[in-house]
Amino acid sequence: MASGGWVWLLCLMAFLLSRAAAEGVSLTAEEEYSRGDFPEGFVFGAGTSAYQVEGAADQDGRSASVWDTFVQEGYAGGATGDVAVDQYHKYKDDVLLMAGIGLDSYRFSISWSRLIPGGRGAVNPKGVQYYNNLINELISHGGQSFFQGDFRDYAEVCFREFGDRVGHWTTVNEPNIFASGSYGQGLGPPHRCSPPFGVTTCAQGNSTTEPYLVLHNILLAHGSTVELYRENYQRKQGGLIGLTLFAFGVVPYTNSAADVAAAKRAKDFFIGWAVNPLVFGDYPEVMKRNVGSRLPSFTSGESKLVKGAFDFLGVIHYMEMPMKDNPESLDSELRDFYADVGAQMMVSLDSYTHGVSPSITYNFLLVNFPVKPGALREVLEDFRTLYGNPPLYVHENGKPKQSPSYLFSPRTGFANRFDAGQVERRNGSLKDTGRVEYLHRYIGAVLDAIRDGCNVRGYFVWSLMDVLELLGGFQTGYGLYYVDLDDPDLTRYPKLSAHWFSRFLNGASVGPDYSNVIVEFELAVADLSHLITHVRRRRQHSSH
Residues 262-313: pLDDT tens digits? 999 999 999 999 999 999 999 999 999 999 999 999 999 999 999 999 999 9
Query: What span, in angstroms and rounded, lies between the C-alpha atoms of 318 and 376?
Result: 8
What pLDDT score does 523 carry?
76
CB 177 within 8 A of CB 39: no
- 351 located within any domain: yes
Query: What span, in angstroms and rounded, lies between the C-alpha atoms of 302 and 521?
Result: 54
Task: Please give the C-alpha separations between residue 494 and each of 175, 250, 288, in angstroms, as whole numbers.
Answer: 32, 34, 49
CATH code of 254's domain: 3.20.20.80
Residues 190-198: contacts with CB under 8 Å, at least 24 apart: 190/66, 191/70, 196/334, 196/359, 197/336, 197/359
- 271 located within any domain: yes
What pLDDT score does 530 carry?
52
What pLDDT score does 539 carry?
55
Res. 122: pLDDT tops 50: yes
Helix, strand, or coil here: 483? strand
Q: Which residues are the active-site residues?
A: 174, 396
**Which residues, at least 6 apart from 530, have a Cβ–Cβ distance to it below 8 Å?**
none
Task: Please give the C-alpha separations between residue 388 and each of 200, 312, 509, in angstroms, as whole numbers.
Answer: 39, 12, 32
pLDDT confidence tier of residue 512, bands split at 50, 70 and 90 = confident
Query: What span, in angstroms and rounded, lies between the C-alpha atoms of 307 and 249?
Result: 25
Task: Please give the C-alpha separations between residue 334 and each of 96, 209, 297, 328, 338, in angstroms, as whole numbers.
Answer: 53, 10, 20, 12, 11
What pLDDT score does 133 carry?
97
Q: Is the peptide bond before 322 cis (omega within 30 degrees of 0)?
A: no
Res. 28: pLDDT tops 70: no
CA dihedral for 32, 36, 40, 45, sign (positive or negative)? positive
Res. 134: pLDDT tops 50: yes
- 349 located within any domain: yes
283 versus 203: which is more confidently predicted? 283
If you average pLDDT over residues 46-70, what whole number do you get? Answer: 96
- 229 located within any domain: yes
Any idea which of 19-23, 376-380, 530-534 has the lowest mean pLDDT?
A: 19-23
CB 308 within 8 A of CB 328: no
The count of structural domains within the chain is: 1
CA dihedral for 76, 318, 31, 46, sign (positive or negative)? negative
- 1 located within any domain: no
The DSSP 8-state label assigned to residue 424 in this structure reads S
Q: Give the model confidence (pLDDT) of 356-396 as tens digits.
A: 444 333 333 444 567 899 999 999 999 999 999 999 999 99
Tell me the angle at which helices 433-451 and 373-386 cross, rounded to the nearest 10 degrees: 30
Res. 72: pLDDT tops 60: yes
What pLDDT score does 370 carry?
76
The CB density around residue 280, as the number of other CB atoms within 10 Å, is 16
Q: Give the model confidence (pLDDT) of 391-444 as tens digits.
A: 999 999 999 875 444 443 333 333 333 334 555 555 456 889 999 999 999 999
Q: Give the model confidence (pLDDT) of 311-366 as tens digits.
A: 999 999 999 999 999 999 999 999 999 999 999 988 755 433 445 444 333 333 44
What pLDDT score does 533 carry?
56
- 144 located within any domain: yes
What pLDDT score does 1 carry?
41
Q: Which residues in 41-65 are b (16+ Cβ under 10 Å) and which e?
A: ebbbbbbbbbbbbbbbbeeeebbeb
What pLDDT score does 421 carry?
52
What pLDDT score does 73 carry?
78
What element of type H or E holds 379?
A: helix 373-386
Query: What span, in angstroms and rounded, lies between the C-alpha atoms of 442 and 526?
Result: 30
Res. 514: pLDDT tops 60: yes
Res. 255: pLDDT tops 70: yes
Task: Please give the C-alpha separations between residue 205 and each of 76, 158, 208, in angstroms, as whole numbers.
Answer: 22, 31, 9
Helix, strand, or coil here: 320? strand
What pLDDT score does 411 carry?
34
What pLDDT score does 526 carry?
66
Any idea which of 71-80, 87-96, 294-303, 494-503 has the lowest mean pLDDT?
A: 71-80
- 397 located within any domain: yes
Query: What span, in angstroms and rounded, lies between the C-alpha atoms of 531 and 406?
Result: 39
What element of type H or E holds 252?
A: strand 249-252
Query: What span, in angstroms and rounded, lies between the C-alpha atoms of 297 and 308?
Result: 17
What pLDDT score does 78 carry?
78
Query: What span, in angstroms and rounded, lies between the C-alpha atoms of 111 and 52?
Result: 11
Res. 6: pLDDT tops 60: no
Q: Count the residues in the chain.
A: 544
| Mean model confidence pLDDT for the chain | 85
Res. 97: pLDDT tops 90: yes
The pairing of beta strand 168-173 with beta strand 7-10: parallel
What pLDDT score does 20 carry?
29
Res. 535: pLDDT tops 60: no
pLDDT confidence tier of residue 474, bands split at 50, 70 and 90 = confident
What pLDDT score does 291 carry?
99
Give 227: exposed, middle or buried? Use CB within 10 Å, 0-12, 13-18, 19+. Answer: middle
Helix, strand, or coil here: 324? strand
Tell me the residue range of the domain where 350 lies.
7-510+517-543
